[in-house]
Every structure is written in C-alpha cells, then in structure tokens.
Structure 1
Amino acid sequence: MYKKTLFLFISLIAVNVISAQLVYNTPESVGLNAIYIETNVDSIMNDAITQKAFPGAQLLVAKQGKIIFHKTYGFHTYDSIQKVAKDDVYDLASVTKITGPLPALMKLFEEGKLNLDVPFSSYWSSWKKRKDKKDITLRELLSHQAGMNPYIVFLSDVLRNGNLKKRFIKEENRKRFSNKVYNNLHVKNRFKRKVFRKIKRSKVRDDKTYVYSGLASLIYPTLIENITGENYENYLNNNFYKPLGCEVLGYNPMTKHFNNAIVPTEQDSLFRNDFVKGYVHDENAALLGGVSGNAGLFATALDMAKYMQMLVQKGTYNGKQYFKPSTVEEFTSIQYPENDNRRGLGFDKPLIRNDTLNIKEAYPAPQVSATSFGHSGFTGTFVWADPENELVFIFLSNRVYPSRTHRNIYNLNVRPKLQQVFYTSPNSEEKIINN
C-alpha cells in the first residue's frame, strides 16, 4: 500500500512539472553559469550588430521550464532611434509553418480527420486528376519529400513592367477587393484561386528527393477551414494561442491595436515601395491578405517560448493538454533519413550526423539532441526546442533590414553560435577559465 501511494505521489509530481508554465529564473537555478552565458552571448550579438548582420535582436532561452536568459540588443533600425524591447513584435516568416497550420494539422490528425499516408488529393480534390500529384501524401508534403517546386513568385502575376495590374490590385477597399496587402493596396479576393491553380499545375520532380518547398503551406489554411468548418484564424486562436497565453501571436498585427512596437523588415522596392512594418514581408503571403501557411504570423519572444515549451512538455502546458505525447513524437521525428532528408513533419531537424560536425558545418549547434526540432525564418527568426535537454531557444531579429541582401547572419553563423553557449556553459559552481 505504501509503495502504491508513493508511486501515485511521484506520478502527480511528474504531471505537475510537465504541465507547468514558464517562469523567470537565473541560469544558476538550472546549474549553468550566468557570467559565462552573458559574456559569450553579448560578444556574439555585439559583433553581429557591428558587422550589420541585423540592426537589433533578442534572445530568450528557457531550460527546465525556467526562462534563464532574455535580453535585447541593438535597435529596430540602423539609425539607432528605437531600442529593441523584450515585448517587441517580429515577423516570423517561415516559422509560421510550424506555428500556424501545423498545430491545426496535428490536432486534425489526432482526431482522425487527417491521415498522413493516404493521398492528399483525398482532402484536396483538385489534385485528383493531376497524374503527378494525385498520389502524394500529407507525410511527403510536410517532410518536403514530395518533389514539389520550392517556390512560385505570384507577384509576377500582379505586375506588368513594374506597375500593379488594376484587375488584381486596387487602392481602395471594395467588395471584391477586401484582402488588404498594404496601406491603400487591396488584392482581389479570388486571387487565392489563381494561387491554388498555379500550384496544382506546377511540376513535380520524378525522383522524390528532399526539396524544401513552401507551396503546400499556402493551401493548408483553406484545407483546415474546409475540414473544421471554422475560420482558420479563429481556430488557431481558440484552440492554441489564447489558451497558451500567447498575447500577440497572430496574423496582421496592424489590425490588433496592441501597444507593443512592431519591428520593421525590408525596404520593399518591388510593389509596396516602403519600409514594410506590421505587414507580412513575404510577397506570396501578402497577396493572400497576410494570412497564409507559409508566412504571416507575428509574435513576441515570450509567445514563441510558450508554444515551444508546450511541445517540449509533450503537448501539455499550464495544466492543459493540447496534444497526446505520441502526436508530438510523430511530428517531431525524422521521416526519411534513408533519403538524407533530416526533416520531421513540418518541423526542421538537426542535420543528419550533426553531432559529428564542427560549429561551422553544423545546423543548428552540434550539441543539440537528435530529438530536437524547430524552424528558421527568412526575416532572421529562429526557434528550437530540445526535449532531451529541456531547452527552448528563441532568437528574433530583422536581418532583412534594410535589404534581404544582408546575409551576415549566415556568414557569421550567429544563431548556432548563440545556441552552443547554453550547451557549453560550465556548471554554476565551476570557475570560468580563459573567457
């Protein structure tokens, strides 16, 4: 009787720990060295800003359910007027893929409304008569093993000689042009049909090798609406964002009227002719009214930490279960290692044999576990979760400011170096040598 009672008590403690919510604490509370961490992170960040990898950034790291580091660096822009703040809002770019449609797809899979291994055309009927697409599965699409084209530039459909085609874009909001692209720019509501048609007609590689493609992500929000019968944004808000306490996470932040500052992205010289701020940077997502599965979400670092911590805790956060542990494991596991494809279902994974590589060759840091997962974003965002090490890593920047030609975030290997700091930190009681 005593043993059974003790077992139940320990089990309850374990459940409470795994369902906990994030709290702020010190690196020492999880056995790490605060001086080592801050010294190294400061050095990497300041060097990156000096070399114009980005005008500013912030880093949030949680370990064992405790936020042990959250610090900002630099400014919104290179004019050094507005400092980066901890509650600033960033364009997540492709991090949207794992934060927007993916949790919805995971939930629908768990409910038996989606099967990963039947033809996707079972749910997306327009593909049924396409010989090269009718047998593609959702598992292949999510793991980028379907042979789809990487990208289609839909902006070319609305431009002629550098000018916007009035049959697709209007300056004023009209009944058939209610999707806002930017200030005083509205796209035709039915442009989405053109997007889907071009994806349907796009070529598929005969050899199904790993090719990263964001095309299916453009379809997922409509697919989710078709299956659930609910508005895509409302579905995400009601099932995930609001219960998690993600106060800002969502699409089109300019319509939300919150007090947080929004960090600008790029000087768009293609069709908006302005410094883009508060509207999605990605042109394809913009032409869908800012709501897409490939890009469009905006968030704070804390929002992203809560979402990733829920996944680290096997689908549970603050006493609420969002997914079964088996669902999280299924989607975060590598799918096609035999094809040298590192991807999970939607989630990015470390390079195969990543732990054998040095920091210059690895992705992300070589010390992350093989069970870790996350995603990067074109605008300079990066989120990663490591269940084995109970570590969540959130990096937000606007590296595309003022232009996407700025690539020093990659050249300097900024994000893996930052991540490595938290794996190589000495024990909190050890002395730091040669640092």
Structure 2
Amino acid sequence: MLKLRHTLFTLFFLAIVFGHAQAFEKMRNNIDSVVSNAIQAQAFPGCVVLASKDDSVFFIRSYGYHTYDSMRRVAVNDIYDLASVTKVVGGTLAVMKLYENGYFNLDDPIGEYVDKLGKVGDVTFREALAHQGGLYPWIPYYKEIKKKNGKFKNNTISATRDSEYNFALSDSLFLHKDFYNRIKNMIRKSKVSDQKKYRYSGLFFYLIPELVENLTDTTFNDYLSHNFFRPMNAKTLTFNPLDSFSTHQIVPTEIDTFFRMQPIHGMVHDEGAIMMKGVSGNAGLFSNAEDLSKIFRMLLNEGEVDTLRLLSKQTIRLFTSTQYPNNDNRRGLGFDKPLLEYDSIASSVAKDVGFDSYGHTGYTGTLAWADPEEDMVFIFLTNRVFPSRTYRSIYQLNVRPTIHQFFYDYLKEIESKE
C-alpha cells in the first residue's frame, strides 16, 4: 500500500512538472512568435525580455540584433537606454528617499526648495510627481537656444572644445559648462496651466538633481548610487555608461539627423538629458534587464534587499498609489499605473495587471512593471528608435502588453495544474 502511494505521488509530481514544462514552452513559443513578427515589421531590431516572480527570474531571453545590419546579436546582459523609465528608477527613487528622511512634505511648493522657478515653483511635489500641476509637457532646449540664422546663442553650444565648452554632445558639438542655468530659466518661463488636471510633463524631473544637491550636498548620481544602486549590486544601472562599459555591450539608439547629426551610441538619446551632461531625473539612466529588475524587486519586497532596508513599505505604498483618481488621473507619485478603464489600444501593459501594479515606459521602447498581487516583475528593453524615432510599429502591434499578458496566462495555467 505504501509503495502504491509513493508511486501515485511520483506520477502526480511528474504530471505537475510535465504540465509546467508544457505551459512554459507554450508561453515561450508565443513570445518568440510575437517578437519575431515585430522584428520583421521593423518595430525594433532586437530586445531583451525578463520576468520574475517570488524573487526568482523565471524568464529571460534576448532576441535579434543591436541594429538591422545583423552584425551583433543581443545578449541578455546588454545595456539599454532606459529613457523615461529613469523617472522612476532615478528621479522618483531619490525623491522617495528625501521624503522618507523628512526633507519636505508632498504638499509643499517646489519653489521652497529650488529657487528662481517663478510660477513653476508654486506647483507642489505631489502635483508635479502625479503630472497634475499644469506644467508644460516638454521644452526642445536645443531649438530654443538657436538664433534666427540657425547658429547657437552665446554661452550655449560651441563647435570647438575648450575650458568653457567642456562636455561633448557629439563629435562636433560642445556644451557650455553652465548650461543648466539656461535649462532652469526656460523651465521658469514655461507656461503653467491654471487647470489642475492630468497633463504629462517631464519638467520637474529635470530639477531633481538640483533638489538633491540643495538638500543633501550630494550629487544626484552619488545619492542614487549610495542609497540604491551599490547596495543592490546593480552595476550596469548608471548614467553615462561609456565611462564604465564598452560600446559592444551598449545597444545604440537613434541615428540623429536633426541635432547631434551622428549615430547615438552610449550617450543618452533624450536631448534634454544630454544637455544636462547625461544626468537628469527625466532620462539618462542605462541598464541591463537584470539590474533594472532589482529595483522593482526591492519595491515588491517592501524596500528590503537581503538584510538591508532601503525604503519603508509605507513610502512605497504611498508613491505607488493613485493620487487623483477623481480627476481622471491614474498616476501615482512618479509611477505610472494601469488605466482607470482598460483600453487594449492605449494600454502599455497586460489586461490582467493588478490595480496596485506600477511602473513606467520609456521613449526608446522600454518598459518596467511590478505587480504586487502576483509578485511579478516584467522588464522589456529595446531600441525601437533605431534608426529613427519615426519607427512606431511597437505600438501598432501592441508588442509589450501582448508579451506581458502571456506571463499572466502562463501563471494562471500552472496554477490550474497544481
């Protein structure tokens, strides 16, 4: 009798294992098919897909090539430009730590901590982080500093490098050492709407490095590294990756034909971030998939990494919660959230994401998302802007939400077999 029970248990266990393997193969084949079709449609030349659950990565796979010339295959540890994912893993993380340490209240005006902002300074931290403050969406800084004859204004950009113009934007453009003051002045002069309703804006995130330095006497980069990236051993999560990594490991973005007039490879794609010397709270961070997932795993683990506590669970819950749902605003503080009413065309994430889930997209095609209900992290890294930002098939094909949904389908299938 005992032997029969043991045999039945073994068969049951093998059935579960076999069922899991079948479900995993089905999911992998579905993802392979979607990505293959997307590459053929020139949605992007390649990508890395990662999913983790309960502290374990259960799917990580690379596809395609760095560019359409098919010279260098994408590897799972390749480094991508995160674009606006920087807003949450850079700018918002820093603000979370400052808030937790008591440097300000969320309903304080920004202008109490960053001076010379005019009407922009009247917007509160809560409003700015939730895109509810009426701030102007974006400023094309590189256009605003040009004269009518097409030449750059004094003390902005030079064609030659010297002690005043000491940061290379490209092989032939060099930024003035005090250019941030120009950016700040343009933000100050930007229009602030009197209507307090949802309008996505990156302007506040350009000010976060100054905010951090004003309050802590520490650079933004050092503050993030000390409080988050080094404790997590997230070595590829960095600004200006060419300081530490070769171009072989960094995936290129756009072939710039309107400003820098050269391929962008290892330098941040965002024009505003590069004019902040590659370091901003709006864009600028690069990472591989695994290191990026560590940030969201820390958040799902209520701020803990091994025996270290980097943030409190109360702070994480606050910042990842919708702030103005009664104003048709789904956003948390810095973090994006699921649409208040799901729309398969407009959504960047799966239909089955939990309402408490959160993350962010990036202009280069990136996406990072965490779902506390499933304890799942989803990372999608790509360079859809290669060779040009006009390539938009990633959206038309719904690549990211489709792949994201496959992971939910897989989890439901294996749960049904247990």
TM-score by length of 2: 0.91
Matched residues, percent identical? 43
Secondary structure of the structure 2 residue equivalent to 1:275 = coil
Distance 2:354 2:20 in 1: 19
Distance 2:347 2:17 in 1: 28
The answer to which of 166-175 and 275-284 deviates more is 166-175
The correspondence of residues 223-238 of structure 1 with structure 2, limited to 5 A, is: 223-238=211-226
Distance 1:31 1:63 in 2: 15
Per-residue deviation, 1:235: 1.3
5+ residue gaps, structure 2, are 1-15
Say if 1:381 and 1:362 are closer, same or farther in 2 by CA, change over 3 A.
closer
Do residues 421 (structure 1) and 411 (structure 2) align? no
TM-score by length of 1: 0.87
**Paired residue for 1:154, among 126, 141, 146?**
141
Per-residue deviation, 1:184: 4.7
Secondary structure of the structure 2 residue equivalent to 1:150 = coil
* Aligned residue type for 2:134: G
Residue 57 (structure 2) aligns with: 67
The correspondence of residues 20-419 of structure 1 with structure 2, limited to 5 A, is: 33-127=23-117, 130=118, 132-160=119-147, 161-165=149-153, 167-257=155-245, 261-354=249-342, 357=343, 359-419=344-404
Per-residue deviation, 1:180: 2.9
Distance 1:225 1:29 in 2: 55
1:292-346: CA deviation from partner (whole Å, max 9, x where unpaired):
1111111100110111100111111122111000000000000000000000000
* Aligned residue type for 1:286: I
* Aligned residue type for 2:107: D
Residue 11 (structure 2) aligns with: none
Q: Is the contact made by 2:120 and 2:135 (CA closer than 8 Å) also made in structure 1?
A: no
1:88-122: CA deviation from partner (whole Å, max 9, x where unpaired):
11011101111112111101100101210111111
Per-residue deviation, 1:287: 1.1
Per-residue deviation, 1:163: 4.8
Q: Is the contact made by 1:30 and 1:63 (CA closer than 8 Å) also made in structure 2?
A: no
Secondary structure of the structure 2 residue equivalent to 1:182 = coil
The answer to which of 253-262 and 64-73 deviates more is 253-262
1:5-35: CA deviation from partner (whole Å, max 9, x where unpaired):
xxxxxxxxxxxxxxxxxxxxxx979968211
1:380-426: CA deviation from partner (whole Å, max 9, x where unpaired):
10000001110000000000000000000000010000000011125
Distance 2:153 2:244 in 1: 29
Q: Is the contact made by 1:87 and 1:260 (CA closer than 8 Å) also made in structure 2?
A: no
Q: Work out the number of aligned pairs and report it.
A: 399
The answer to which of 422-431 and 51-60 deviates more is 422-431
Secondary structure of the structure 1 residue equivalent to 2:259 = coil
Q: Is the contact made by 1:133 and 1:204 (CA closer than 8 Å) also made in structure 2?
A: yes
Q: Is the contact made by 1:351 and 1:363 (CA closer than 8 Å) also made in structure 2?
A: no
The answer to which of 328-337 and 94-103 deviates more is 94-103
Secondary structure of the structure 2 residue equivalent to 1:238 = helix
Per-residue deviation, 1:43: 1.0
Secondary structure of the structure 2 residue equivalent to 1:96 = helix
Q: Is the contact made by 1:312 and 1:390 (CA closer than 8 Å) also made in structure 2?
A: yes
Per-residue deviation, 1:252: 0.6
Distance 1:287 1:362 in 2: 31
5+ residue gaps, structure 1, are 1-26
